[in-house]
Amino acid sequence: MTARPSPAAAPPAAPPEPTAWEPQAEAPRLRQWSRDLAMGTKFAFTGGREGWVRVLLTGVGVGLGVALLLLTTAIPSAMQARSDRENARTDMQFGTTEPAKSDKTALVANVDTEFHGLDVRGRQLEPEGIRAPLPPGVQKFPAPGEMVVSPALKSLLESKDSRLLRERLPYRVTGTIGESGLIGSAELAYYAGAQGLAKYKDDVSGVTRIDTFQGEPQPSEELDPVLLLLVLTVFVVLLMPVGVFIAAAVRFGGERRDRRLAALRLVGADGRMTRRIAAGEALSGALVGLVFGTGFFLIGRQAAGSAELFDISVFPSYLNPTPVLAVLIAVAVPAAAVAVTLLALRGVVIEPLGVVRTARPARRRLWWRLLLPLGGLGLLAPMIGKGNDNGDFNEYMVTSGVILLLVGITALLPWIVEAVVARLNSGSVSWQLAVRRLQLSSGTAARMVNGIAVAVAGAIALQMLFAGVQSDYTKSTGQDLSRAEIQMSVPHTVSVDDARQKLVDTRGVLDAVVLSDSTLGVRGKDPDTSVMLTVGSCAALREAAKLPSCREGDAFAVQGVEYDEATPELAEPGRKLFVDPSYEGDDQGAEVPWTVPRDVKKAEPRKDPSGWERGGFLITPSALPAAAASAADAQIYLKLDLTVPDVRDLVRNTAAEIDPLTNPTTYTSSERSERFDSIRTGLFAGAACVLALIGASLLVSQLEQLRERKKLLSALVAFGTRRRTLSLSVLWQTAIPVALGLVLASVVGLTLGVVLLKMTDTAVAVDWPSVLAMTGIGAAVVLVVTALSVPPLLRLMRPDGLRTE
């Protein structure tokens, strides 16, 4: 300062004009931010064809993930909706006393049936007064001979090959059941009008009197802890790879973006600006993904209305994502996209003249990577052995333990790939090319494989758990299919012999055996000792015991049944016993006296066709007092000729003809918990979807990488490199990290499986076939990806790549 103006004369100091290169003041920072983000968005959409393809890929990738997430959040509410509907049409009241007959009551008979293996829910309705309750979805009671049906049943009845079902349900259809009376769009159900159900009241268990269809508000059914563990693990196992996939999807086209950012640096953007611009790009990709995802979800939801999965169908309106979770997804996905992008840019310095990866990335350290899976094991360890006592798993500990173990894979894999690949050496040219490339960028390779590894590890663990727990949840029914395929009871209103005859006359029935059961007490009222009484022809009785000889009029005492100590005691000739004794507080029994005959014979036990070893007395019909005949509960066992088409439906039709309330039961050799089954099927479907998703992202990044190397590939072809060599090197390049990933996945998966089995207190056994199957599927994904990337590779290897002019 040379001239010092006097304070008085000095004009008020004007604020200096801000120059362009001076740092801006605080205020415009927000504007600066939004401008950078907007610029990123612009880049995302205006990159020409290439740009659009990238946005589309990201959108579809993220969208599929989002749709899967939304579906997941909608499942609980769908299940709740189903159980609410089910509860609103309950006609079996447990633990409540039956209402007395009034004008507010109705009689309901359960006439469920099966057709071609499909379950049909059937009810007969008989209002007992004008104020009788109507089931939900039904406008008015169908008159006898009429019925209202669900839309699915209606179309089934109208279809060509359902003649047998039409014969079985010979009622006139007068209406359809509304959505409020059904639990799913594909449910088969009908309500038929009936008359005189009261006569079955004390005879057939499926007939009840009710004054409302609204069931007691049920405490939400507690899932078996082991099942809960399974469900939690399935969700974690399926959603983790989706997360990994979304993370990969937002990085599609990353290299090209880096170069664009470098160009921006050249024209004056600073480092932070480029990061914000990159964030803007990722953000818009994720937002497009959210829109796509919502679209996919809505389409899927509509499709779900017409689909039936694991015998469960839902109405689209059931699939409503829990609002909180939906908002969480809408916020978390874009946030994760930005976070992943910024994280990926962390190791990258974008210089005006190009992208510099931090020269030598710090050697990957092992210790903190090991902490994750070890921490997961630590969380799971305290719960070992809890499965069978009270089975109280802490959901949070289970979930985070499993997540930590699986995340541990994504942390360990890069280290392992780096460590192993650094030691790989000599080999063919293709091998050398692949290995060297992996050595230079093992991180990228590992990232690509992470998703597959997590999915496979989870699936292996679950398979083990399933295989281990399977025996607990699969009960052998003990039913002997070589002796009978169908068992049915007959109401007392029809003659057993007539019924048997009709059944034997039915096409495909080889034999029908009738065994009638009752009890024998030492007194007529409240006997302190009672044994089984079985009535049947000699042929029939031979199905229930080993008889030395048998003639009509004989009686036998079964000896040697473990739980039955009373029979040998009571089997002294001349002892007076009572058929169908009465018990305090129960209905009046027949109390018909019967004397043990002098020539009572001894019989050895044998399992009957239903798998039951019965004790007590066996007598032929003529040895039974006539008065006692009605007190016996007749069961008919049918042996079928399975080569006759639809033989089971033919039998069901005859049964319905005999009396609609007969209830034929089809025998199976074993019966699994249905819920367990659907979890297992769900896992398979989910794992397939997830692996397909990951395969798609692998393919995209593979192609991107190849395109980057177009010139080099052409040069390699110029000096005579065989196409086979290059294709093989592409294969190795994917196969090496995937193989390592699969090995790690197997180790972690087996560990997790062992821990989970120990938690459920099940014997540890490795299910090798499923380990092989899962790793095989993982390997198949690699092969498919390589196979799909070979044609573009061959195209890229054409000499056009050398043309520069």
Partner 1 sequence: MTPAGSLLVAHDLRKAYGPTHALDGAEFSIHPGEVVAVMGPSGSGKSTLLHCLAGIVTPDSGSITYNGHEMATMNDSRRSALRRSEFGFVFQFGQLVPELTCVENVALPLRLNGTSRKEAERTALSWMERLEVDDLSGKRPGEVSGGQGQRVAVARSLVTSPRVLFADEPTGALDSLNGERVMELLTDAARSANAAVVLVTHETRVAAYSDREIVVRDGKSRDMERVV
Q: Which residues are at the interface with partner 1 (CB under 8 A)?
A: 426, 429, 432-433, 436-437, 439-440, 711-712, 715-722, 725, 799, 802-805
Q: How far is the CB of 440 from partner 1 (least distance, A)?
A: 5
Q: How far is residue 182's CA from residue 203's CA, in Å, rounded to a whole number?
A: 29
Q: How far is the CB of 736 from partner 1 (least distance, A)?
A: 13
Q: How far is the CB of 418 from partner 1 (least distance, A)?
A: 14
Count other C-beta atoms under 10 Å from residue 395's C-beta. Answer: 11
Residues 6+ apart with CB under 8 A from 160: none
Nearer to partner 1, 666 or 725 (CB): 725
Q: How far is residue 575's CA from residue 398's CA, in Å, rounded to a whole number?
A: 63
Coil/strand/helix, residue 7: coil
Q: Tokens 């969208």 map to which residue?
A: 63
Q: How far is residue 189's CA from residue 200's CA, in Å, rounded to a whole number?
A: 22
CA distances to 1, 146, 244, 278, 423 from 340, rounded to whole Å, are 53, 63, 10, 11, 30
C-alpha closest to that of 535 among 594, 619, 592: 619
Nearer to partner 1, 438 or 467 (CB): 438
Amino acid at 297: F
Nearer to partner 1, 160 or 363 (CB): 363
Q: How far is residue 461's CA from residue 467's CA, in Å, rounded to a whole number?
A: 10
Nearer to partner 1, 335 or 440 (CB): 440
C-alpha closest to that of 179 among 189, 171, 169: 189
Tokens read off for 751: 């560990």
* In 15-47, alpha helices (H): 29-45
Q: How far is the CB of 428 from partner 1 (least distance, A)?
A: 8
Nearer to partner 1, 54 or 437 (CB): 437
Q: How far is residue 603's CA from residue 547's CA, in Å, rounded to a whole number?
A: 5
* In 518-646, alpha helices (H): 538-542, 566-570
Nearer to partner 1, 131 or 357 (CB): 357
Half-sphere exposure at residue 722, Cβ-oriented, CA atoms within 13 angstroms: 6
Count other C-beta atoms under 10 Å from residue 640's C-beta. Answer: 22
Q: How far is the CB of 689 from partner 1 (least distance, A)?
A: 34
Nearer to partner 1, 546 or 711 (CB): 711
Nearer to partner 1, 712 or 787 (CB): 712
Pairing verdict, β 633-640 and 509-521: antiparallel
Nearer to partner 1, 125 or 262 (CB): 262
Nearer to partner 1, 567 or 729 (CB): 729
Amino acid at 695: G
What phi, psi does 791 have (nearest 5°)? -55, -45
Nearer to partner 1, 587 or 805 (CB): 805
Q: How far is the CB of 701 from partner 1 (least distance, A)?
A: 17
Q: How far is the CB of 420 from partner 1 (least distance, A)?
A: 16
Residues in the chain, overall count: 805
What phi, psi does 780 have (nearest 5°)? -60, -40
Contact assessment for residue 126 and residue 107, using Cβ atoms and an 8 Å cutoff:
yes
Q: How far is the CB of 712 from partner 1 (least distance, A)?
A: 6
Q: How far is the CB of 688 from partner 1 (least distance, A)?
A: 34
Contact assessment for residue 612 and residue 517, using Cβ atoms and an 8 Å cutoff:
no
Q: How far is the CB of 735 from partner 1 (least distance, A)?
A: 17
Q: How far is the CB of 763 from partner 1 (least distance, A)?
A: 49
